[in-house]
Amino acid sequence: MRKSRGIISLIAIAAVMVFLGVTAVHGLNSKGMGAARNINLGLDLEGGVSITYEAAGETPSQEDMNDTVYKLQRRVEEYSTEAQAYQVGDDRISIEIPGVQDANQILEELGQPGSLYFIRHLDSDGNENYAINAEGTGYKLTKSIEELQEDGSIVLTGTEVETATAGAMSSNTTGATEYGVELTLNDEGTAAFAEATEEAYNNGQDSIAIYYDGELISVPNVEVVIENGQASITGNMSYEEAESIASTIRIGGLNVELTEISSEVVGAQLGQEAVSTSLTAGAIGLAIVCLFMCFVYLLPGFASSLALLIYTGLILLLLNAFDITLTLPGIAGIILGIGMAVDANVIIFARVKEELTAGMSVHGALKAGFHKAMSAIIDGNVTTLIAAAVLWMRGSGTIRGFAQTLALGIIVSMFTALFITRLIIYSFYAIGIRNEKLYAKKLKKRRPVDFLGKRKVFFVISIVLCLSGFVGMGVNHARGIGAMNYSLDFVGGTSTSVAFDREYTLDEIDSGMILDLEDITGDPNIQVQTVQDSTQVVFKTQTLDLSEREAFARYMSDNYGVTEQDIEVRNISGTVSSEMRTDAVVAVVIATICMLIYIWFRFKDIRFATSAVIALVHDVLVVLAFYVIARVSVGNTFIACMLTIVGYSINATIVIFDRIREEYRENRKEDLKELVNRCITRTLTRSIYTNLTTFIMVVALFLLGVSSIKEFAAPLMVGIACGTYTSVCITGALWYVMKIKKLGNRV
């Protein structure tokens, strides 16, 4: 790079940093587009709309309620991945959608959850089941639903419809592009619909009507026999009309007919202090990481610090661009991502330092450092991206929200490390900053540490750590306190609605009554929501027995003059349903298998892949043991923490494996034990530094964050420390043991 290009590049980098800084504060236009304040926030940070439905008729079975909650959850996720649906009492379901202030609009778009039917035009005697109304403006039923069910004219109900989506498609008759609705049916619905469409088609392309909540919403003609369960509803309709029909079909596919009984705008679950302390923790952690990088890696460290600032600005901008909903764990995840973003830079600069120590010129060392670090960076980040992609496709709720922020952070960190940092460091070199002492302190020769010689000790320690969690579960269960400390997110609890004599802010509640209520309920993680334009406050706690409810009511009466009539108490289900837990487990299993296959493909050796996955499972089990033994609350942050470990712990392992692969190709005749020990020793500093930078960010969160953030940060610190131990002491040893067994050597 020429000097003039170096100057221009540095000016451009400075301009980008100014642009991102101004955008983060003020936005791209007068409406503040792109500003940090316009990022979509979750219920815990901003509040949103809460709607409560009640089952019509007799109280449904618990199985039907569970199925309905799950389907509603998937429906409201179209508004936000952080939306929640949960059961209240025996026959009510509440949904909460963050970042929305118009309950009426949501009710209109969501539709009234009622019964959905697909109806034949003619019954078995040839009589019409529906006909054009007297005004000639539409269709009406000629029989009641009960009569239609008795004579077999109901083709499908909503429960046989798996998906319904609006979009552009080609007409079966004219081939022209038009808007319509695509339907996917389950196996039972496919068979029934094939028979009904064949009958209607042979009857002069007759129609099959779609009836929902008291009216016929569509009466499409059958143009072809549909045997594969994939149906299309087309006609002269706009996209909005198609989306309305699709939305109605989706919501009509519920097992339980629901009636809306209340809708309200609720406030944030956490006060402004929670947000400000988290952001402060992020700023402090970022500053410490930048100082650390400058101290350890000198000029390249300064370049990476500038790139890190650009990374932070890009993340804020892209959160706006992709309308990602950010919750408090999401903020923690982004802050964690800042620590992870340093990882690639450390890999590069460690390589640069090695090349300079070997006597290479500054320019040659920079070129070799970026080139040799490329494979480890790509492999480490691609494996994590695979995990994020699987979690997005197979997960639900907060799992998908986590996958979004994880993927975004990985892509941006790769871009800033491989492009921005490279551009800055080469620009410094081009303008004449070429003193070798500014680029690295030469490495001192270090004798390889005999990690493999202690492998049996390490294996025993790991087995004990992994089993301690299961032993702790058994002990806890025997003590009658539950295997793990599940929060109301998992097991449900009690929702207590209190109508005060005036409006209270969340900060007033946090400073005035929350500590007393924690003592009364025995729950250190009470969720609090205010209701807009109301004196009502909702307290969600673990399940309260009669004495705790009475103590709660007595406290409110003695301290705030609240009468018994002003308090409404209901049991609520967990926001993480059994189906969502199943989705999460399946997603993690599939992601692990996909990562194993990728590592196997890239390293051409199943032993590398197997060792990496065993190490990943090891780290997850150790963190699980910490949750069990320390009795840390298991809620939504538990899922986010475990998924972070899955996505992060494999990176350090891949760097070590990348070095083993490289040196094994060149020195196949060398003693394998010495080679592995040397590779681990050479990457030891890198393993410690990358985990240390991430650890710094998490410690800042733990020291300054609110209780929910501390519950996220503490297990993560354990996971990061364990990941360092695993990558250094376990993974290389596992590969070595499996390798020498293949070669027929003695262990």
DSSP 74-107: HHHTTT-TT-EEEEETTTEEEEEEET---HHHHH
| pLDDT of amino acid 29 | 67
- In this structure, the number of other CB atoms found within 10 A of the CB of residue 177 comes to 10
Phi first, then psi: what are they for 451, rounded to 5°?
Answer: -65, -40
- Burial of 121 per CB tally in 10 Å (0-12, 13-18, 19+): buried
CATH of domain 272-443+454-468+578-743: 1.20.1640.10
**Domain spans in the chain, listed from the N-terminal domain onward:** 48-113, 116-253, 272-443+454-468+578-743, 525-570
Share above pLDDT 70 across residues of the chain, in percent, rounded to a whole number: 85
Average of pLDDT values for 347-360? 86
| pLDDT of amino acid 392 | 76
Average of pLDDT values for 708-723? 85
CATH of domain 48-113: 3.30.70.3400
- The 8-class DSSP code of residue 577 comes to -
Q: For 494, left (φ over 0), alpha (ψ -120 to 50), or beta? A: beta
Give the pLDDT band of residue 302 (cuts 50, 70, 90). Answer: very high
CA distance 496 to 499: 10
| pLDDT of amino acid 306 | 92
| pLDDT of amino acid 234 | 74
User: Does the pLDDT value for residue 444 go beyond 90?
Assistant: no
Per the CB < 8 A criterion, the answer to whether 143 and 149 are in contact is no
Positions of E strands within 542-678: 567-572
Average of pLDDT values for 348-362? 86
- In this structure, the number of other CB atoms found within 10 A of the CB of residue 132 comes to 12
Query: Which tens digit of pLDDT belongs to each residue from 178-217?
Result: 788 888 888 888 988 898 888 888 888 888 888 876 778 7
Two tokens, residue 402: 């986590």
The residue behind tokens 């050597």 is 745
Phi first, then psi: what are they for 374, rounded to 5°?
Answer: -60, -50
Bridge partner residues of 455 (DSSP): none
Two tokens, residue 22: 């101004």
How many alpha carbons lie under 13 Å from residue 16 in its C-beta half-sphere? 20
Residue type, 127: N
How many alpha carbons lie under 13 Å from residue 468 in its C-beta half-sphere? 18
Q: How far is CA 228 from CA 178, 196, 199, 497, 548, in A?
A: 22, 13, 16, 49, 56
Of the candidates 104, 54, 110, 55, the residue with the CA atom closest to the CA atom of residue 80:
110
CA angle 565, 571, 572 (to 5 degrees): 125
Average of pLDDT values for 700-704? 84
| pLDDT of amino acid 472 | 93
| pLDDT of amino acid 75 | 74
The residue behind tokens 């993340």 is 315
| pLDDT of amino acid 618 | 92
CA distance 196 to 198: 5
Per the CB < 8 A criterion, the answer to whether 134 and 95 are in contact is no
- Burial of 152 per CB tally in 10 Å (0-12, 13-18, 19+): exposed
Per the CB < 8 A criterion, the answer to whether 231 and 162 are in contact is no
What does the CA dihedral 691, 695, 698, 703 come to, rounded to 10 degrees?
180
Higher pLDDT, 80 or 693: 693
- In this structure, the number of other CB atoms found within 10 A of the CB of residue 366 comes to 24
> What is the average pLDDT value for the chain, to the nearest integer?
81
| pLDDT of amino acid 747 | 42
Residue type, 206: D
Two tokens, residue 499: 């109508």
Residue type, 708: S
Average of pLDDT values for 307-316? 87
Q: Which of 436-440, 443-447, 487-491 has the highest mean pLDDT?
A: 436-440
Give the pLDDT band of residue 17 (cuts 50, 70, 90). Answer: confident
| pLDDT of amino acid 746 | 45
| pLDDT of amino acid 101 | 65
Higher pLDDT, 636 or 93: 93
- In this structure, the number of other CB atoms found within 10 A of the CB of residue 206 comes to 16
| pLDDT of amino acid 3 | 84
| pLDDT of amino acid 665 | 84
CA distance 735 to 128: 73
| pLDDT of amino acid 573 | 74
User: Does the pLDDT value for residue 526 go beyond 90?
Assistant: no
Of the candidates 45, 48, 40, the residue with the CA atom closest to the CA atom of residue 100:
48
- The 8-class DSSP code of residue 123 comes to -
Higher pLDDT, 14 or 325: 14
Phi first, then psi: what are they for 442, rounded to 5°?
Answer: -60, 145
CA distance 664 to 604: 13
CA distance 380 to 347: 11
Query: Which tens digit of pLDDT belongs to each residue from 45-75?
Result: 666 777 888 887 788 888 788 878 877 777 7
Higher pLDDT, 721 or 709: 721
Query: Which tens digit of pLDDT belongs to each residue from 567-609?
Result: 888 887 766 656 666 776 777 788 788 888 888 888 888 888 8
Strands across the sheet containing 177-185: 161-170, 177-185, 230-234
Q: Which of 364-368, 398-402, 502-506, 558-562 has the lowest mean pLDDT?
A: 398-402
CA distance 240 to 180: 10
Higher pLDDT, 481 or 268: 481
Higher pLDDT, 289 or 72: 289
Of the candidates 595, 352, 322, the residue with the CA atom closest to the CA atom of residue 314:
322
Higher pLDDT, 616 or 173: 616
| pLDDT of amino acid 468 | 95
Those residues whose C-beta lies under 8 Å from the C-beta of residue 221, and which sit 6 or more positions away, are 200, 205, 206, 207
| pLDDT of amino acid 330 | 65
Average of pLDDT values for 391-402? 69
CA distance 116 to 131: 18
What does the CA dihedral 237, 241, 243, 244 come to, rounded to 10 degrees?
-150
CA distance 645 to 120: 53
Maximal CA-CA distance, the chain: 96
Query: Which tens digit of pLDDT belongs to each residue from 612-657?
Result: 889 888 998 999 999 999 988 887 677 767 777 776 777 778 888 8
Those residues whose C-beta lies under 8 Å from the C-beta of residue 291, and which sit 6 or more positions away, are none
Average of pLDDT values for 282-310? 88
What topology does CATH give the domain 116-253? Gyrase A; domain 2 (3.30.1360)
Average of pLDDT values for 317-346? 72
Of the candidates 501, 535, 487, 538, the residue with the CA atom closest to the CA atom of residue 517:
538
| pLDDT of amino acid 645 | 78
